[in-house]
Amino acid sequence: MTETLENLLHESRRFVPPPQLASAANVTAGAYDEAAADRLAFWDRQARRLDWAQEWTRTLDWSDAPFARWFVGGRLNVAHNCVDRHVAAGLGDRVALFWEGEPGDTRVITYAELGVMVRQAANALTDLGVGSTDRVAIYLPMIPEAVVAMLACARIGATHSVVFGGFSAEALSGRIIDAGAKVVITADGGYRRGRPSGLKSIVDEALTRCPVVEHTLVVRRTGQDVGWTAGRDLWWHDTVATASDLHEAQPFDAEHPLFILYTSGTTAHPKGILHTTGGYLTQAAYTHHAVFDLKPGTDVFWCTADVGWVTGHSYIAYGPLANGATQVMYEGTPDTPHQGRFWELIEKYRVTILYTAPTAIRTFAKWGDDIPAQFDLTSLRLLGSVGEPINPEAWMWYREQIGGDRCPVVDTWWQTETGGIMISPLPGVTRCKPGSAMRPLPGITADVVDDAGASVPAGGGGFLVLREPWPGMLRTIWGDDQRFRDTYWSRFGTGTSAPGSGARAANGGGTALAEHGWVYFAGDGAKRDEDGDLWLLGRVDDVMLVSGHNISTTEVESALVSHPAVAEAAVVGATDPITGQAIVAFTIPLGDVDTAGEAGEKLLAELRRHVADTLGPIAKPRQILLVGELPKTRSGKIMRRLLRDVAEHRSLGDVTTLQDSTVMDLIATKMDEPH
Ligand code: 6R9
């Protein structure tokens, strides 16, 4: 991936922070220098945002790399930090959650009320025999009990494993078995797209294969009929709501396992990413404070992710609550009952900070500018994006149509594995470029390297790596240390020469850490531009090799999306006898674009020309198909693997993580039409 097209991503637009935001920003430019001067001392100070029952004796122990220990010897309780300490500080009446159900029912929960719910749930779990050496699976819709269940586990030191409520019985049972969960917390069902969908029935099916599960705890949400296994199944309202609300939180070791979260992955056996207590919470809290400039008591923060994904863990449950934020939490889909639902909620709750995904932004753009224009969005002051590369045109649309051309847009790069945001603008400091995540945050060291692991110069492209351990880093893959080494630490650096040998770093976590030689391979392609700013180019598996040139799918997609007739695009490399791989693009036209007959043919020719004009003739797609939808994972990432199958006329691979499986049939039909 060393060779890149010279004229890719020529983006000259710059957006400076609004002066008012800059002058009152939580974090200013000095933070970069401060962290560069002494990175561990910097993280040490950030850890002091939290309440510790016992001080740590050492910030980082890297002597058993790549297995890190942060804040060694420190002890704290996560639930105390996210709830009790705010109440103790006199903020019990502050709203923690403005919850909105999809059908329009609402709940307002203060920090004091959240504290009662968490303590009751902690007591109920303890009564069921759950303790600090156990795992609990959580399979819930987006209701406040999901956050309560997570915090209750954290409070008693039980490790939670949240499984997204859209996953099948098979996916759920696999995760329950891998984690060895003893209790499953679920609901009768939840509302999605205007209908109640069943969850308990899926748990029942999953549990036929999971003999280790002793109990289920079931929240009544929809009131639908459910199957019941006496002795095993318990209603939340009978068990939790009647439990004592007195519960003293015990502190746990900084490295106590907080949660396991399975990456959706494309392989049959998903990876259980393990996060621990002190370092994870430090990074979640610091990044939420720095990147979103949160002013507790004034701001209303809304992260639209599901708690089943890492974004929901770090930026609904842990970061915001540790910072005493007031949040909106929404159960349903953005188009139920109408396509203005998100904007209606922003107007209703006067949301000031919105954090959502490029897939949602491109969908909103496709639905039309007139929809958000019907709502008062003037409360917004900051916008965030996460999950995929954001195309410059989608970034501009977000800024202009949602942010009124006044709100900074922060494009935040990170992963389930990193625990918290790693690369992002600072909203009060950075002169943003549309489509770039810009720089690593203070305290984070990222680099772009070539095949041999050498840093590429400005203007070069390659693999994104992280050169220093960070507090929120995954500690291992649950039950599989070797896979942890192989997947993340064996591609470059020290791990390359001695994979799995248990080689000890010479340096025991002192200051000259760069010499330790362990390099984390993120699996993403990236480019460093002339100013040193970073552009994320998607998963390296998705990079195409066309006539000897490496071309990233992201760049061709961005070129297509920059055409006024295009709402969204997904690009893949299909085997080609002449060029090795050839570019095939699947493109969703904007709603009002005429694609019938000759007009459609003209548009296709124009789009091919447009890509060639933007990126150079080498990037011209061999074929462009106009489609109605694209295959996406349940967290909204485009599944290029399936499109490659279609483009190469293969039968489809595993489609179980697909959001809507009918989409692929429609696309496959298109592919077989004469063109
Ligand atoms: C937080 C989250 C991680 C992968 C990651 C990358 C992609 C996430 C991105 C981005 C470009 C961004 N990704 N944020 N790519 N720009 N701002 O999404 O975690 O579900 O584990 O996915 O998502 O490819 O490697 P996760």
Q: What is the pLDDT of residues 249-266, one digit of tens each?
A: 999 999 999 999 999 655
SS3 of residue 173 by DSSP: helix
Distance CA 181, CA 272 (A): 13
Ligand 1 binding pocket includes 222 (Cβ within 6 Å): no
What's phi and psi for 463, nearest 5 deg?
-100, 135
pLDDT tens digits, 517-575: 999 999 999 999 999 999 999 999 888 999 888 899 999 999 999 999 999 999 999 99
Q: Which helix (H) or strand (E) holds 235?
A: strand 233-235
What's phi and psi for 543, nearest 5 deg?
-70, 140
Model confidence band, residue 413 (pLDDT cutoffs 50, 70, 90): very high
Closest CA to 318 of 328, 307, 331, 329: 307
pLDDT tens digits, 162-194: 999 988 899 899 999 999 999 999 999 999 888
- Which residue's CA lies nearest to atom 5 of ligand 1? 415
Q: 135-139 and 159-162 as β-strands: parallel, antiparallel, unpaired?
A: parallel
Distance CA 352, CA 378 (A): 8
Ligand 1 binding pocket includes 633 (Cβ within 6 Å): no
The DSSP string of 562-598 is: TSTTEEEEEEEEEEETTTEEEEEEEEEEPTT---SHH
Q: According to the model, what pLDDT value does residue 267 have? A: 54
Ligand 1 binding pocket includes 8 (Cβ within 6 Å): no
The Å distance, Cα 539 to ligand 1 centre, comes to 9
Ligand 1 binding pocket includes 635 (Cβ within 6 Å): yes
Pick the more confident residue, 121 or 628.
121
Q: According to the model, what pLDDT value does residue 503 have? A: 37
Q: Is the peptide bond before 337 cis (omega within 30 degrees of 0)?
A: yes
Ligand 1 binding pocket includes 537 (Cβ within 6 Å): no
Model confidence band, residue 657 (pLDDT cutoffs 50, 70, 90): low
- Residues near 93 by beta carbon (within 8 Å), at least 6 away in sequence: 110, 111, 112
pLDDT over 80 (residue 651): no
Ligand 1 binding pocket includes 160 (Cβ within 6 Å): no
Ligand 1 binding pocket includes 463 (Cβ within 6 Å): no
What is the number of the ligand 1 atom nearest to the C-alpha of 385? 17
| Ligand 1 mutation pick, 274, 524, 640, max ligand atoms within 8 A of CB | 524
Q: According to the model, what pLDDT value does residue 500 have? A: 38
What is the number of the ligand 1 atom nearest to the C-alpha of 554? 11
pTM: 0.92
What is the number of the ligand 1 atom nearest to the C-alpha of 538? 24
What's phi and psi for 410, nearest 5 deg?
-105, 115
Ligand 1 binding pocket includes 423 (Cβ within 6 Å): no
Model confidence band, residue 443 (pLDDT cutoffs 50, 70, 90): very high
Closest CA to 15 of 383, 514, 540: 383
- Residues near 364 by beta carbon (within 8 Å), at least 6 away in sequence: 334, 342, 371, 372, 397, 401, 402
Distance CA 301, CA 315 (A): 9
Q: According to the model, what pLDDT value does residue 635 have? A: 83
Q: Which helix (H) or strand (E) holds 280?
A: helix 278-291
From the centroid of its chain, how far is CA 279?
A: 18
Give the gyration radius of the chain's Cα atoms.
24
Q: According to the model, what pLDDT value does residue 623 have? A: 94
- Which residue's CA lies nearest to atom 12 of ligand 1? 413
Pick the more confident residue, 309 or 497.
309
What is the number of the ligand 1 atom nearest to the C-alpha of 423? 17
ipTM surpasses cut 0.90: yes
pLDDT over 70 (residue 577): yes
What is the number of the ligand 1 atom nearest to the C-alpha of 416? 21
Ligand 1 binding pocket includes 525 (Cβ within 6 Å): no
pLDDT over 90 (residue 104): yes
Tokens of 203: 């748990």
- Which residue's CA lies nearest to atom 22 of ligand 1? 415
Q: What average pLDDT does range 661-671 have in this prediction?
A: 77
